[in-house]
């Protein structure tokens, strides 16, 4: 996370689905404990941008089971999974990956920050072929927005 040309921090906003409460809550708890600060993004196989925390969660927070959302792993949705290291990983789908990730939980979708996501992808794609500094989440934050009546 760095500043863009206007001097504002790069920020990607994600709306979490209501029908995946275990995965969403596990992720929110980790964000609250700063587990995701310092996580590194990587461009994977051209169809996702992937992030895994640098350090394991000392509490051991992980996805205990796969929740099936009414939403598929379509472009710009966000999935969580257990990484090879045993840590909880998250990724942003860059295309419809419903068939590739049907055994992983889709927890939400990107709703704002597409300019920051585009810059992230440009840097990640160039780093796939060069040995550059990793793309790091400076600070992960979460906020609760209540649903307004009639919306």
75 pLDDT above the threshold of 90: yes
pLDDT at residue 2 in the model:
47
Instruction: Report residue 138 as tokens.
Output: 């400076």
Q: CB neighbours of 34 closer than 8 A, spacing ≥ 6?
A: 140
Backbone angles phi, psi at 44, to 5 degrees: -115, 120
pTM, 2 dp? 0.83
Q: pLDDT of 96-114, one tens digit each?
A: 999 988 889 999 999 999 9
Classify each residue of 78-89 as buried b or exposed e, where b means 16 or more C-beta atoms within 10 Å of its C-beta. Answer: bbbbebeeebbb
Residues 80-89 have pLDDT tens digits of 988 877 788 8
- Mean pLDDT along residues 35-61: 84
- Are residues 135 and 37 in contact, defined by beta-carbon separation less than 8 angstroms? no
């Amino acid at each position: 996370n760095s500043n863009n040309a206007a001097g504002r921090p790069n920020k990607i906003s994600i709306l979490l689905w209501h029908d995946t409460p275990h995965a969403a809550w596990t992720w929110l708890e980790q964000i609250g404990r700063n587990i995701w600060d310092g996580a590194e993004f990587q461009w994977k196989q051209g169809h996702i941008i992937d992030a895994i925390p640098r350090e394991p969660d000392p509490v051991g927070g992980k996805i205990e089971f796969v929740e099936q959302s009414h939403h598929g792993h379509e472009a710009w949705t966000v999935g969580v999974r257990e990484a090879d290291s045993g840590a909880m990983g998250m990724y942003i789908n860059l295309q419809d990956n419903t068939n590739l990730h049907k055994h992983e939980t889709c927890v939400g979708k990107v709703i704002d920050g597409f300019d920051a996501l585009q810059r992230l992808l440009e840097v990640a794609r160039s780093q796939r072929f060069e040995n550059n500094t990793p793309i790091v989440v400076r600070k992960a934050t979460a906020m609760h927005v209540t649903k307004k009546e009639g919306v």
